Chain A
Amino acid sequence: MAITLVPAPRAAPPPLVPKAVRGWRERLSPYAYIAPFFVLFAVFGLFPLAFTFYVALFDWNPIGDRVFIGADNFTRMFADPRFWNAARNTVSIWFLSTVPQLLLALVLAHVLNHARLRFALFFRMSVLIPYVTSVAATAIVFAQLFDRDYGMLNWVLGLVGVAPVDFVQSAVGSHVLIATMVVWRWFGYTTLLYLASLQAVPLAVYEAAAIDGAGPWQRFRHITVPSLRPVIIFTVVTSTIGGLQIFTEPLLIATGAPLTCGAVRQCQTLTLFLYEQGFGEFEFGYGSAVGVALFVVVVVIAAINYLLSTRIRADR
């Protein structure tokens, strides 16, 4: 490659051809190259988002009736026990899926980072297999494995004398079941993200620690975990945003009452509640209010993430 003694300017590179030589087509072509993204995002991303805020102010029936009701949907939502139930379920499932996933990924990334590990590619590929499996297929298989009467898990529990657990019908059980599916699908991906970060840590750091007498646990505790702090925060934030959108797993495990995820809404998440209101009850306005609430939560989380990551950079 070309070597220059003068450092390249930080700003935009100079035009590769003098402007006078370039025709109007050439001057406009960059906009044509980026236009598809901006048009698609405006039509299918930004506009619907803004429109959610608008629809949320109406009593809006898809058949055509709409009445402006101001903030009524929001006051109704804050007084709706179903909303708070869905919020609690979402937080519970998020917590149960994020904490084990993070710990598992930390440990696996640490051991996969070993230079002399045999079959490293095989292990890396194996943990990524769940990621290419669809949520729908995952939900069906895990619902079967966790089944009260025919599930393999309950059979194993029975061997050690535990009475069959009805995972789907109980709140805690269904949350554990959904969290298990989330962890299964995502822990390998998270592991590889952590591994990518770990490979940037110089070996000298580990060697120096070993010379100073640090054992494997101390190296994990004092080198691996601190150097992964930014990517850990990143994955906590993405798993939180993903957790707010959990939909398919609860829809598919409770076959009798899918839109509420069970008779007493024991595993209905916020996105499922949004769907139930919008497409089950045809209350577009109320459903959009739930969408607005979710959006606000996501923005707050993103802001916290931004503050945390600037803090981390400042700490260095």
Chain B
Amino acid sequence: MTTATARRRPHGRVRWWTYLLLSAATVACLFPLYWMFVVATSDTATATRMPPAVVPGDNFFHLVGLVLDTVPFVRALLNSLFVATAIGAGQAVLCALAGFAFAKLSFPGRNTLFLVVVLTMTVPTQLSIIPQYMIMSTLGWVDTLQALVVPGLASAFGIFWMRQHITATISDELVQAATIDGANSWQVFWRIAFPIVRPAAFVLGLFGFVTAWNDFLWPFIVLKTPERYTAQIAIKALQNSYDVDLGLAMSGSFLATAPLVVLFVLVGRRMVAGILDGAFKG
């Protein structure tokens, strides 16, 4: 496998400047995060010192205390966790189910409906935030977390992607055999199809989780009370406070970013593989 993949790519000597370039890119990617940590652990005097401090200070817990006094940040992190998990898991299951229907079940209108799914990928819905807000207002969902979760569950791209995976990995014969044994389509999906495509659904869910965790515009419009804030909106609230403490906004940013960096260290390999599969071109 490794040799087969390797043989398809350019070989020969790797030039020293290749590593120099890649190291520079790595430093450029990691330094802002490191700097966030440095300021999040320093007092204001250190954070604004020239030349800049480059090692973390010991003020972290003091600043975290200040963050917690200013906004209910633990609550915000839990809200983010809830919203992102619900969206990630919801997308993984709903898209797998719809993808299964489009890949393995025959029903009148199937091709037309799938075309509609594909076309919706090109519709930029973020530009209609005013009517979206009006709908939430009518539903009475303004300032609630379901205003974030429910619209986030619909993913045309996810359906498209899961359909590709199901078509590629599950043979018609397998589905047929299960059907002959008396399984209905729901049982075929849960007992056979979903277990097979679970890795693909997991990667789709990861991208949904990351996107939902980092979303700003929509939560910023919908959420009003601090107890309902997601982590991103809590950061914005910290920045608003007139007690100008550079470390404060930075500590909040750090608290909101650290969970995702940990998650990425654990599963980043699979996210990279997901993109290299050609999966996230949309």
Contact = CB atoms under 8 A, between A and B. Distances in A.
Nearest to A248: B216
Interface string A130-163: 1111111110111011000110100100000000
A271 to B, nearest CB: 8
The 8 closest A-B pairs by CB, nearest first: A40-B154, A48-B131, A44-B151, A134-B214, A51-B131, A137-B253, A33-B101, A48-B128
Given A36-B154, A115-B11, A291-B127, A41 B120 contact: yes
Contact of B216 (A51, A115, A247): A247
A307 interface: no
Contacts of A284: 130, 134
Given A44-B135, A127-B26, A136-B236, A193 B129 contact: no
Interface in B92-144: 94-95, 97-98, 100-102, 104-107, 110-111, 113, 116-117, 120, 122-135
Nearest to B280: A193
B184 A29 contact: yes
Interface string A245-284: 1011001100100000000000000010011001100001
A45 B235 contact: no
Contact of B150 (A40, A47, A244): A40
A292 to B, nearest CB: 8
Provide the main secondary structure of the chain A interface.
Answer: helix
Interface stretch (A75-83, A84-92, A117-125, A170-178): A117-125
Contacts of B197: none
A150 B9 contact: no
A112 B22 CA distance: 8
B250 interface: yes
A140 B268 contact: no
Interface in B219-262: 221, 231-232, 235-236, 239, 246, 249-250, 253-254, 256-257, 260-261
B268 A125 contact: yes
Provide the main secondary structure of the chain B interface.
Answer: helix
B108 to A, nearest CB: 9
A184 B9 contact: no
B127 A52 contact: yes
A26 B185 contact: yes
Interface residues of B, number: 110
A159 B250 CA distance: 26
B210 to A, nearest CB: 5
Interface string A214-234: 001001000000000001001
B52 A279 contact: no
A310 to B, nearest CB: 15
Contacts of A108: 21-22, 25
Best-buried of B18, B151, B189 by chain A (most CB within 10 Å):
B18
Best-buried of A16, A114, A130, A152 by chain B (most CB within 10 Å):
A16
Interface of A: 1-2, 8, 12-17, 25-27, 29-31, 33-34, 36-38, 40-41, 43-49, 51-52, 55, 62, 104, 107-108, 111-118, 121-138, 140-142, 144-145, 149-150, 152, 155, 184, 188-189, 192-193, 195-197, 199, 202-203, 206, 210, 216, 219, 231, 234, 241, 244-245, 247-248, 251-252, 255, 271, 274-275, 278-279, 284, 287-288, 291, 294-295, 298, 302
A297 to B, nearest CB: 9
A91 to B, nearest CB: 17
B217 interface: yes
B139 to A, nearest CB: 9
B275 interface: yes
Given A134-B256, A206-B10, A37 B39 contact: no
Given A34-B101, A44-B135, A51 B250 contact: no
A44 B154 contact: yes
Contact of A124 (B189, B217, B272): B272
A13 B249 CA distance: 57
B269 A116 contact: no
A241 B123 CA distance: 10
